[in-house]
Structure 1
């Protein structure tokens, strides 16, 4: 299992940027898989706690049922538009994908992320190039720039 703490140890500066994007806003978006295999997008709140990325689901919620049946997920930070004239300062957006370990509680489901991929998409300082950086436990940190 790859915890958030593992990401922080492997690529601290990258992990800090991603975490700041996730913590900048309360609401995020999660993708799960329905029983028929089609995707479901839901709003969700997440927290970094004791070196783990964790989130929950209320009793009877479909996203919780999806994750208990198929633990794969993709999580997206909140997105804000770049400010006109200051596009180079745009913080970008972040994504985390993997699988969850589910625990039932009296308040619903509690999920701990086993992280397979972390992505930070942003612009370069001149706002002329889209920069996509991504980290996986097996390949480490990689980067591509698109003009």
Structure 2
């Protein structure tokens, strides 16, 4: 079980960047799995509190039923476009994947399996993908 606090302790600077992207906007997107295995995308809000990443589902919502049946999820923070001429200032986008652990009613906490930050290098000439997993730690690739 990897809580947000565990990830943040392992990679505080990286966790800070990812959390800032998630905190920058209220609405995020979550992907869950339907009963037939096909993906479902839903809007969601998240909270970082007491070392946990938590989120909820309205009573009777399909995403909550999906998570209770199959806890795997992918969470995507809000995305903004780079400003033309100021691409190096683009903060990028953040994603978190894991398993939803029921807390009470329709609330869940995240058992984190992967955290990703995609952004541009300082010259805005390369796409930088940084990702962390509990088993392999932090990794980074740059792509043209």
Residue in structure 1 matched with residue 85 of structure 2 by the alignment = 85
Deviating runs (4+, > 6 A) in structure 1? none
The 5-angstrom pairing of residues 106-117 of structure 1 reads 109-117=106-114
The 5-angstrom pairing of residues 23-102 of structure 1 reads 23-102=23-102
Cα separation, 2, equivalents of 1:104 and 1:142: 35
Residue in structure 1 matched with residue 116 of structure 2 by the alignment = 119
Cα distance, 1:100 vs structure 2? 1.0
Listed as ranges, the gaps of 5+ residues in structure 2 are none
Give the TM-score normalised by the residue count of structure 2.
0.99
SS at match of 2:9: helix
Listed one character per residue, the Cα deviations across residues 84-117 of structure 1 (whole Å, up to 9, x for unaligned) are 1110010000000000111333xxx000000000
Cα separation, 2, equivalents of 1:124 and 1:131: 6
The 5-angstrom pairing of residues 6-25 of structure 1 reads 6-25=6-25
SS at match of 1:5: helix
RMSD: 0.6
Cα separation, 2, equivalents of 1:9 and 1:77: 21
Cα separation, 1, equivalents of 2:30 and 2:53: 13
Cα distance, 1:77 vs structure 2? 0.3
Cα distance, 1:79 vs structure 2? 0.1
SS at match of 1:14: helix
Listed as ranges, the gaps of 5+ residues in structure 1 are none
